[in-house]
Homo-oligomer: A and B are copies of this chain.
């Protein structure tokens, strides 16, 4: 059975759309009152690992905010977990990995096989969500990028500069590449399994790639993003989101990725120029701007679409939605995209 609303997939394939599709990173969760109720009853990994809960949370923004795609409720750190690491999540405090990767032995003992079995709860959540969505909108799967996962696996927690992770890469580059390759291998298995379980497209989040200089990005991040895009693109369109790494956009626009995520550190026009108008772009609303008054949000959303054009474009935030965004502000964002009527202003023909 075909999707009733396949705007997202059309945009990713570069097909003509009557208006741009819209969804929001981190839309499943934290700013929605119904999610906050569930959070009081179940801890983080219970919510992630219980297919019924993950499905319910995934559907909330589709039902309540009217986005054009669902993204499975999960976490990028399920991969380090599946590789054998302990990941603790204290509410409101961010993740903690008490036993970090420090040496060759730590890397050697990481599991790289059976990702699908180890993460079977994700596959069950996807199958269930796909059924409950009943083809209303596409379902997005995701994974963290190898560099970003290395950051957490080596640093053990969030950080302003991830200097332990970088020190590891700068002092033991061979080990860093071994670790990055292992993460890449598992991620490819994982994303392929997600497609088999029903997702229509996948996004790879490189949340910390902007910490790297352009040269270090090319060494420690880009090759693994490209490997993933190359391996998974045959199964489903791949969106790469290298947050903060605007400098990489020209090269990534020539990769096998179907779309690139853009943060708000560049204008839509700059992003189109850097990618030579030849790839679908997604973004790039400053998440803090959803705290502005609704008329200001509407004005800024229209300006954003004017800049990107309506074709080969997916309206989204430039990073995850903030927990303190009022739901009616999130709705205003979505509705403004839906109401946008282009006066033949598409920049990609």
Contact = CB atoms under 8 A, between A and B. Distances in A.
Contacts of A162: 288
A291 B166 contact: yes
A6 interface: no
Contacts of A288: 161-163, 166-167, 170
A349 interface: no
Interface in A83-110: none
B210 A265 contact: yes
A273 interface: no
Contacts of A171: 291-293, 296
A214 B171 CA distance: 35
Q: Interface residues of A: mostly helix, strand, loop or mixed?
A: helix
Given A247-B270, A266-B247, A167 B214 contact: no
A292 B216 CA distance: 13
A178 interface: no
A267 B216 contact: no
A64 interface: no
A328 interface: no
A188 interface: no
Contacts of A287: 161, 163
Contacts of A322: 161, 163
Q: Which of A170, A293, A324 has the most CB of B within 10 A?
A: A170
A35 interface: no
Interface in A233-254: 244, 246-247
Contact of A167 (B166, B210, B215, B291): B291
A189 to B, nearest CB: 31
A327 B267 CA distance: 41
Interface in A104-135: none
Contact of A292 (B161, B170, B266, B267): B170
A267 B167 contact: no
B247 A170 contact: no
A286 interface: yes
A291 B213 CA distance: 15
Nearest to A158: B160
A44 interface: no
Contacts of A170: 288-289, 291-293, 296
Q: Which of A167, A246, A270, A296 has the most CB of B within 10 A?
A: A167
A31 interface: no
Contact of A213 (B163, B267, B324): B267
A252 to B, nearest CB: 16
A214 B264 CA distance: 8
Contacts of A163: 287-288, 291, 322, 324
Given A163-B288, A170-B291, A247-B267, 4 more contacts: A166-B291, A170-B292, A215-B267, A246-B246
